[in-house]
Structure 1
Amino acid sequence: MKRRTFLKRSAAAGALAGAGSLGLLSFSSEKTFKHITILHTNDVHSHIDPFDRDHPQFPGMGGVARRFTLIENIRRENPNTLLLDAGDIFQGAPYFNFYGGELEFKLMSKMKYDAATIGNHDFDNGIDGLAAQLPHADFKFLSANYNFKNTILDGQVQPYHVFVKDDIRIGVFGLGIKLEGLVNKNLYKETVYQDPVEMATQTVQKLKENEKCDLVICLSHLGYNYRDETISDMKLASLTRNIDLIIGGHTHTFLPKPTVTNNLDGNNVLVNQVGWAGVNLGRIDFFLDPEGGKNSKGATILV
């Protein structure tokens, strides 16, 4: 896609998000803002090729090559960009059945993903199958609430990672959905699910107090929202502090722009999810001023 076309589409899709600490964009000529761009996907489910042009729901949409073109255009626009995924990379196309996830990880590495969390379908070839593909992934796998101590993944998945872009410290951590009743025990073996709210609280405290992070991002495979009390991204936001952005997955929710909701202290949190199958690319732009103020805008970009 030509850069001019991309910018027009991005501007058309962009939505000013929030107020207060994540407020409406307002700039002063006396301040020098630092600009951080977050790009994200979720639930791509091994969809490497675009959908057929006669597909009833997503005609001609998606595809890794197109996504890569968009990502590269945005990186040229702003080198201070992170590319993240919220899980369920595997399962959904013959590529996974034949290659077992190798191709998905190699292509994500070519696109220079920075980090991903683990979705329930990423266990579909078992925890051993997932571990066997990790050498093909040149990016971080993050999960704060899956304890892999007695499994083959012990030491290969970290709770969080701190990225530094233009001297801005960005803490990214992962959360996964409860596997019991959703995934066969034989597939995830001794993986222990821990309470996501408790683990998020502990992890964010480390990111803010020990790691001195300016931005905190959660990669969540919990699901956007539920009618019952099941923990979701929206509930997580309301029960925690100091998370700036929750990038969600699992429920395949198509959001035209990030949802702005309140955290435990009444401050704003952005929650976003961009459907599934790679038909959209999420984009969040943060603007930080020297006094610690944050502004943001969000866009969902059609691939």
Structure 2
Amino acid sequence: MERRIFLQKSLVVGSGLAISPGLLSFPKVPEYADKITILHTNDTHSNIETFPENHAKYPNQGGVARRHALLKRIRKEEKNVLLFDAGDIFQGTPYFNKFHGELEMKLMSQMRYDCATMGNHDFDIGLEGFKNAYQHGDFPFVCSNYDFTNTELKDVTKEYQIFEKGPFKVGVFGLGVGLEGLVAKTNYGDTVFQEPIPIANRIAKHLRFEEECDLVICLSHLGYKPKQFKDNDQTLAAETENIDLIIGGHTHTFLPKPEVHQNKIGEKVLINQVGWAGLALGRIDFFLGEKKKHKCHELVLV
């Protein structure tokens, strides 16, 4: 059965929390199309409360309670919803210093996150500290290019995760930034960093053709721009295939809308990143429809 993926994007801001892109209006989509809504965050950095009203840049913005309310509203309106995070859940407020990641894991579980990947700051309490905090999480972590075989995190994280929502089969994997020089050796121990692009090509191909996923999503904590990091989301998009969406993190980049890039064989791949601190919730709606004569997956802006 050949399928074609349609994408919708737009923007909404309300109640001090932005959806980027959210929903202003629906363009006309084919009658045969089914929809799945992908929601995402990155670099929340232990920000639990709303920013104070006297904050110089983000007064009365953000906060877990507002995000939770927004998620409940979207899930009430949409039947096929997945929620992801692209890393750096830890570090940045006294809540992390006091509770060492336990609170963040509990709150993400209550908000019903489906999957996350690890950022460099998620190593800040060491591997054993992360493992202890993760006892309070009930969602998987996908860390595809970190080899934890000889560490406390062996068998704790996964290479990829597959979700089935309505007619959709969605494969998700995660890529982390190089740790040497960025994270203290004592905090990552015998973790082996593997080059992300070969890993991404292998896993995406497996998810697309062996697992027959309709959507392949990468949770990336590599960073946004080539000038910032050798391994980054734009290079990842250009040098891989079979990925539909790269959900980015690490550089705290606020993208006003998802960017459309071309992969190594000229097909479209999306990149999105929504800043930091939980100030924005990313939203992308995909439409899946039957196309008997269509032989490949393609993202089409409608």
TM-score, with length taken from structure 2: 0.89
Confirm or deny: 8 A CA contact 1:46 1:277 kept in the other structure: yes
Match status 1:160 vs 2:157: no
One-letter amino acid of the structure 1 residue matched with residue 89 of structure 2: I
Partners of 1:271 and 1:127 lie apart in 2 by 29
Q: Does 1:287 align with 2:287?
A: yes
Q: Secondary structure at the match of 1:186?
A: helix
Measured at CA, do residues 203 and 135 of structure 1 come closer, stay the same or move farther in structure 2, by a change above 3 Å? same
| CA distance 1:88–1:12, shift in 2 (3 Å) | closer
* Counterpart position of 1:114: 114
Map of 2:173 onto structure 1: 173
User: 1:112-150 CA distances to partner (integer Å, 9 max, x unpaired)?
Assistant: 000000000000001110011111111010011000000
Q: Kindly indicate whether the alpha-carbon contact (under 8 Å) linking 1:224 and 1:249 is maintained by their aligned counterparts in 2.
A: yes
Aligned letter for 1:48?
A: I
1:221-236 superposed matches below 5 A = 221-227=221-227, 230-236=230-236
Q: Quick one: distance in 1 between partners of 2:200 and 2:273?
A: 19
* Post-superposition CA distance 1:43-70 (Å, at most 9, x none): 0000000100110111110000000111
Q: Distance in 1 between matches of 2:136 and 2:203?
A: 27
Q: Distance in 2 between matches of 1:109 and 1:219?
A: 18
Instruction: State how many pairs are aligned.
Output: 284
1:27 to 26, 29, 43: 29
Cα gap change, 1:12/1:198 in structure 2, threshold over 3 Å: closer, same or farther? closer
Q: Which sections of structure 1, spanning at least 5 residues, go unmatched?
A: 17-23, 298-303
Which deviations, in whole Å up to 9, do the C-alpha atoms of 1:169-193 show, x marking residues without a partner? 1000000000001001110000000
Shift of 1:226: 2.8
Report the counterpart of residue 184 of structure 1 in structure 2: 184
Deviations 1:232-251 (A, max 9, x none): 00100000001110000000
Q: Which amino acid aligns with 1:186?
A: T
Structure 1 contact 118–176 (Cα < 8 Å) conserved: yes
Contact in 1 for aligned 2:173/2:219 (Cα 8 Å): yes
Amino acid at match of 1:175: L
Please show how residues 119-134 of structure 1 align to structure 2 within 5 Å. 119-134=119-134
Shift of 1:293: 5.9
Cα pair distance change 1:36/1:13, threshold 3 Å: closer
Matches of 2:223 and 2:92, distance apart in 1: 18
CA distance in 1, matches of 2:301, 2:158: 28
Amino acid at match of 2:29: F
Letter aligned with residue 258 of structure 1? P
Q: Distance in 1 between matches of 2:169 and 2:176?
A: 24
SS in 2 for 1:152: coil
1:148–1:191 contact (8 Å) kept in structure 2: yes
Answer yes or no: is the 8 Å Cα contact 1:37–1:82 preserved in 2. Answer: yes
Q: Distance in 2 between matches of 1:38 and 1:13?
A: 11
Name the CA distance, whole Å, in 1 between partners of 2:195 and 2:245.
Answer: 19
CA contact (8 A) 2:260 2:269 kept: yes
Relative CO higher for 1 or 2, CA cutoff 8 Å, sep ≥ 6?
2
SS in 1 for 2:130: helix
Say if 1:48 and 1:229 are closer, same or farther in 2 by CA, change over 3 A: closer
Q: Counterpart amino acid of 1:165?
A: K
Structure 2 residue 213 is matched with structure 1 residue 213: yes
> What is the alpha-carbon distance in structure 2 between the residues aligned to residue 121 and residue 175 of structure 1?
14
Cα-to-partner distance string for 1:245-301 (whole Å, 9 max, x where unaligned): 00000000011111111111111111000000001000000011112665458xxxx
Going from structure 1 to structure 2, the CA distance change for 1:70 and 1:296 (only over 3 Å counts) comes to farther
State the match for 1:43 in structure 2: 43
CA shift digits 1:143-178 (9 cap, x unpaired): 110000000100110010000011211000000000
Q: Which residue is 1:201 aligned to?
A: 201
- Secondary structure of the equivalent of 1:281? strand
Does structure 1 retain, via aligned residues, the 8 Å contact 2:20–2:283?
no
The answer to whether the Cα contact below 8 Å between 1:176 and 1:220 also exists between their aligned partners in 2 is yes
Map of 1:263 onto structure 2: 263
Q: 1:160 to 1:288 in 2, by over 3 A?
A: same
Measured after TM superposition, the shift of residue 10 of structure 1 is 6.1
Give the TM-score taking structure 1 as reference length.
0.89
TM-aligned CA deviation for residue 11 of structure 1: 10
Residue in 1 that maps onto 2:99: 99
Return the offset for 1:227.
1.6
Assess if the C-alpha contact under 8 Å between 1:25 and 1:296 holds in 2. Answer: no
Whole-Å Cα distance in 2 between the matches of residues 124 and 213 of structure 1? Answer: 34
On the 8 A contact 1:222/1:250 being kept in 2, the answer is yes
Residues 23-57 of structure 1, C-alpha deviations (whole Å, 9 max, x = no match) = x96533xx411100000000000000010011011
Question: Gapped runs of 5+ residues in structure 2?
Answer: 1-11, 292-296
